[in-house]
């Protein structure tokens, strides 16, 4: 059995910028999770309009992420935010399928190059 885990922070309650979070996710954050046993994938996301920063994990082993310390990072820190997430949800992964897009190209894409529907590019800075 595999799991999808989501963790979200309400940035309206934090004093961290999206620019700092994006830089952390591309550098030390990515390094902290690369090769973590039991975690097949970790992706970070944001919703600038709603003030949300979050992460999605594809977890093969539920013991890979200690629920008391989620998210697990170097020295038990949670990056620039420095506090546990406001919301953590565990879901059973039922099915996956790859779309017609080259996933490697998507994962290498620079965040912020194409705004999400309903957002404005100037809100992403």
Digit-coded pLDDT (tens) for 22-61: 999 999 888 888 888 888 888 999 999 999 999 999 988 8
Task: Provide the whole-model pTM.
Answer: 0.74
* Distance from C-alpha of 57 to C-alpha of 39, rounded to nearest angstrom: 7
Of the candidates 55, 50, 69, the one whose C-alpha atom is nearest the C-alpha of residue 22 is 55
* Segment 106-120, tens digit of pLDDT: 666 655 444 444 444
Residue in 41, 49, 50, 33 with CA at minimum distance from that of residue 6: 41
- List phi, psi (to 5°) of 37: -55, 135
Q: What is the pLDDT of residues 67-80, one digit of tens each?
A: 655 555 545 556 78
């Amino acid at each position: 059995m595999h799991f999808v885990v989501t963790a979200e922070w309400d940035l309206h309650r934090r004093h961290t910028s999206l620019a700092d979070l994006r830089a952390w996710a591309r550098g030390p954050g990515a390094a902290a999770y690369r090769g973590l046993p039991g975690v097949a994938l970790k992706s970070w996301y944001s919703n600038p309009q709603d003030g949300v920063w979050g992460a999605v994990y594809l977890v093969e082993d539920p013991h890979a992420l200690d629920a008391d310390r989620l998210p697990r990072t170097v020295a038990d820190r949670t990056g620039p935010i420095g506090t546990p997430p406001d919301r953590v949800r565990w879901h059973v992964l039922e099915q996956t399928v790859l779309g017609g897009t080259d996933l490697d190209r998507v994962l290498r894409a620079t965040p912020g190059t194409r705004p999400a529907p309903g957002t404005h590019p100037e809100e992403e800075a």
